[in-house]
Amino acid sequence: MAELPNPGSDAARALGCLCPVLDNNHGRWLPWQGGWIISARCPMHGPPGWLKETPEGLDISDRD
pLDDT for residue 2: 65
Cα separation, 23 vs 18, in Å, equals: 12
The domain spans of the chain are: 1-64
1 pLDDT above the threshold of 50: no
Residues belonging to the chain:
64
Letter for the amino acid at 32? W
Question: In terms of pLDDT, which residue wins out, 60 or 45?
Answer: 45
Q: How confident is the model at residue 64 (pLDDT cuts 50, 70, 90)?
A: very low
pLDDT for residue 49: 63
Q: Please tell me whether the overall predicted TM-score, pTM, comes out greater than 0.75 for this model.
A: no
In a 10 Å sphere around its CB, with 0-12 CB exposed, 13-18 middle and 19+ buried, how is residue 32 labelled? exposed
